[in-house]
Amino acid sequence: MTDTLPTRTAAFEARIKQRYRSEQRFKALGLTAVLFSVAVLLFLLGTMLLNGAGGFQRAELRVPIDFTQGSVSVDAATLAQPDALQRLQAQGLPELVQFSAATELGEPGAEELSAEAWREVGSAIIADPGLLQRKATFDLPASSNLAAALAGEGKPELHGLAQTLSSEGKLAERFDPGFLTRSDATDPQAVGIWGALKGSMLTMLVTLLLAFPIGVLAALYLEEYAPKNRWTDLIEVSINNLAAVPSIIFGLLGLAVFLWLFPNMRSAPLIGGMTLALMTMPVIVISGRNAIKAVPPSIRDGALAIGASPVQVVFHHVLPLALPGMLTGTIIGMARALGETAPLLMIGMRAFVATPPDSLTAPATVLPVQIFLWSDEIDRGFVERTSAAIIVLLVFLLVMNGLAIYLRNRFEKTW
Amino acid sequence: MSSSLLLLLMLGLGLAGWLTARARAWGFRRRGHTRLAALPSYHGWYAALSIVLPVIAFIALWSAIAPGLIDRAVLAHPAAANLPQFDFQRNALLAQAYSVARGATATVSLPEAATLVEPYREALARYNLIGILATIAIGLAGGAFAFLRLKPDFAARTRVERIVMLILLLASLVAILTTLGILVSLVFETVRFFGMVSPIDFLFGTHWSPDPMSDPAAVDGSRYGAVPLFWGTIFIGAIIAMIVAIPLGLMSAIYLTQYAHPSWRRTLKPALEILAGVPTVVYGYFAALSIAPLIRDAAQALGVANASSESALAAGLVMGVMIIPFVSSMADDSIAAVPQAMRDGSLAMGATKSETIRRVLLPAALPGIVAGVMLAVSRAIGETMIVVMAASTAANLTANPLEAMTTVTVQIVAMLTGEGSFDHPATLSAFALGFVLFMVTLALNFIALRVVKRFREAYD
């Protein structure tokens, strides 16, 4: 009976082989899908890093200036005034800078000095009035045309000049710390992200101050006290829906409601923060409820058993235990708000803002909007600057997400 | 406005109320009442809340009405008599004088505004003083009210807890208010829009070219046909993006949950999550900077003559990549929800792993996956920045992915960031588009949640 019915016929073997091959193919397909996604991510990050590395640099001309020769003589008291730069301009600082550049670089080279270069000299004088008594060497921004020529692009007639100056060591790409401390400008050589970064921080501050307390309190109410009736159902449904509403709709809401209430606060961090808070609040409520759910009932029962009131149970026992989980959700929600652009475009935060905002109601822009505005510029220099700003934004997001992961691991408890 | 000053004042008054009330409660205890009805700190909280809550209400009201009062005071001033009647100019002058008066800017650039600075300073000083005095008065009144009620047998805790519950309830009502605010503002402006352009023209017209500069009185309804926008939105968000996202997301989820070694899974999953955390403006820039030229060059190499650099394909592909982690995590969840017994049964019958996945796991998880895909579609059609940066503003009714196309969200941004006035149908059309978008995403989410709910019940 043993050998009469051969089960492993040739056809059977072939079918098995075929099935194993298809198994292998399927597995390879899955791996390809994952690797493709990772590859796109790497390509994206790589493009930004390659472009952005140049964005932290700028083409600078080395110009020695002998202040003792010029007619610029301003005392220290004047320099302490807020309009010191205008005074220096009236004293002929731009001309002195231009003259020094012409002596050092020759007329054609001096013409390619950025028109705003004297401002940097002026700021240096304001920071150190003693400069006016001596000779000093400055690294001043070149015009964007010369910067493009140095990179081998742009106007061909400038290529020769750029090469001569650079071989003499008078023109070079140098790391530009000012990129992190200046604000928006029309010239890619003169822009910085500090204004946008400050606007982002102020906006995030408003968002956090509004969304966190409201979100946590709403989560506590819904999870701990809410009776099960039509009203609380309505609240639940609207929170879940709000979490999935496209962000641009929140921009329309901000435009129609907040700007109608406060018409002269266009592009203020306050309005932006309020709009983003409405968007972030549902995220915080949903994650907060999960954190509260994870607190075991025995803790509540124990507290109730020794005579605590329901409010005491929640605020003394449940909330402290659920807070780390809530914080994780809050950080993730804030990270999303930090990268959000569309709703802020709606409420007018796409204005050109050249000074960092100094209050919650001053016109401001935020980092993602700044990236969007720069991406519209045609100048080649802005491509690098945009990528550099993107790197800064991504670093912030990575830090926030990293913090959320750390908090999750640090406070993760199994009861 | 000095709202921050008022808030500081409020905190100070609240703290003072808390301290005095608590001290008074301790005083009761020292005078022989050993059993108070509530702990002394609850007496403190009662007083603090009685001070802070009315003051907050006042500050909110005051910061809403004070600017109007100040403006009216300035307009009543003789220096304002010869202001231009034209609203836009007058408001610019007022705004400038105001910002100088409160010290936000140093000097005026419009000379007419200079005469208004002094009246503004006076009005500001007067109304600031009124605000501060009223805050103090209200705070003291609240404090006195609370203080008079403090007695040894006063159940302060019950009162405080009742207030706390009220605050909790109010916090959760914010969600309803927001939903209501969205609905009201969208419906209100949409109705205004439909007063000028017929809904039939808007929903079924095939020609979209609103002119924000045209005369608002004579609207040409045939320029407001939104069908090309709806088509562009569906083509980019629901077709191209999903062709990328569904297979890649699904296969990633299958590989990571069924095949990958745990250590691989630990590194690959966060990598996918990073993809979900990248801001959309970065994707948009990536699409416009790297992908769109790539596609154009490829199309030209293949012999397509008029390949545009703003193609629906570039926006759709990048959007699909953005959605991959979303689809994969939804698929991950629903595959994990399939009972282990079904898998084991299939494997015990001799099926290979991939046969089990294709014939058992996927069909069982299908409702969850479908719901996930619907949520992904709703997210894709609401996505703004990628299409704003990579698609164009030219409305185009075509099925060729290499051509420029525009979407609902692009047009909302374009209509509201232009120069048009708020009474113009071109501006208002953004709200009508927003309303359509809101309703569609709402419907998709609603259906998806229903599907998930029903599916969950099947195996519980």
Q: Which of A245, A281, A394 sits opposite B174 (nearest CB)?
A: A281
Q: Is the pLDDT higher at A278 or at B40?
A: A278
Mean pLDDT (10-residue bins), chain A, 415 residues: 69 91 94 93 92 83 78 71 75 80 78 77 79 80 79 75 79 81 81 90 94 95 90 88 91 89 81 94 93 92 92 92 90 92 87 81 89 85 88 92 84 70
B167 touches chain A (CB under 8 A): yes
Rounded (10°) angle between helices B312-336 and B262-277: 140
Residues near A385 by beta carbon (within 8 Å), at least 6 away in sequence: A55, A179, A188, A191, A374
Mean pLDDT over all residues of chain B? 85
Collapsing DSSP to helix, strand or coil, B87 comes out as helix
pLDDT score recorded for residue A259: 84
Q: Does residue A110 or residue B62 have the better pLDDT? A: B62
The reported pTM is 0.87
| Alpha-carbon gap, residue B230 to B189, rounded angstroms | 20
Residue B285 has pLDDT above 90, yes or no: yes
A267 Rama sector, left if φ>0, alpha if ψ -120 to 50, beta otherwise? left
- Predicted confidence (pLDDT) per residue in B235-247, tens digit: 999 999 999 999 9
| CA atoms within 13 A of residue B227's CA, in its CB half-sphere | 12
Q: Which are the contacts of A244, defined by CB distance < 8 A and separation ≥ 6?
A: B375, B378, B379, B441, B445
- Write the DSSP symbol of residue A57: E
Strand partners, A113: A142
Q: Where are any strands of DSSP class E within A267-394?
A: none
Strand intervals (E) in B54-191: none
Give the span between the Cα atoms of A374 and B281, in whole angstroms. Answer: 11
Count Cβ atoms within 10 A of the Cβ of residue B441 and give its class: 0-12 exposed, 13-18 middle, 19 or more buried.
buried
User: What was the pLDDT predicted at A415?
Assistant: 65
For tokens 């290499």, name the residue: B402
Does A34 sit within 8 Å of B251, measured CB to CB?
Answer: yes
Instruction: Indicate the range of A8-12, A259-263, B285-289, B340-344 predicted with least confidence.
Output: A259-263
* Dist. CA A395–CA B289, nearest whole Å: 20
Min Cα separation B425/chain A (Å): 15
Partners of residue A338 in chain B, C-beta under 8 Å: 279
What is the gyration radius of the CA atoms in chain A, in angstroms?
Answer: 31
Predicted pLDDT at A393: 94
CB contacts of B413 in chain A (<8 Å) are 248, 342, 345-346
The three-point CA angle A124-A125-A129 to 5° equals 135
pLDDT reported for residue B420: 66
B181 touches chain A (CB under 8 A): yes
Helices B425-459 and B362-382: crossing angle, nearest 10°? 160
**pLDDT above 60 (res B263):** yes
Whether residue A248 and residue B437 make contact (CB cut-off 8 A), yes or no, is yes
Local structure of A191: helix, strand or coil: coil
Q: Is the ipTM of this complex over 0.90?
A: no
- Contact yes or no for A8/A347 (Cβ under 8 A): no
- pLDDT tens, B157-186? 888 899 999 999 999 999 999 999 999 999
Q: What is the pLDDT of residue B460?
A: 46
Q: Residue A107: how many CB atoms within 10 A of its CB?
A: 9
Tell which B residues from 5 to 64 touch A, by Cβ distance under 8 Å: 64
Ramachandran angles phi, psi of A407, nearest 5°: -60, -40
All residues of chain B having their beta carbon less than 8 Å from the beta carbon of residue A372 are 281, 284, 385, 388-389
**Residues B385-396: pLDDT tens digits?**
999 888 877 787
Distances (CA, A) of B451 to B369, B445, B454: 10, 10, 5
Closest residue by Cα to residue A206 from B250, B307, B3, B113:
B3
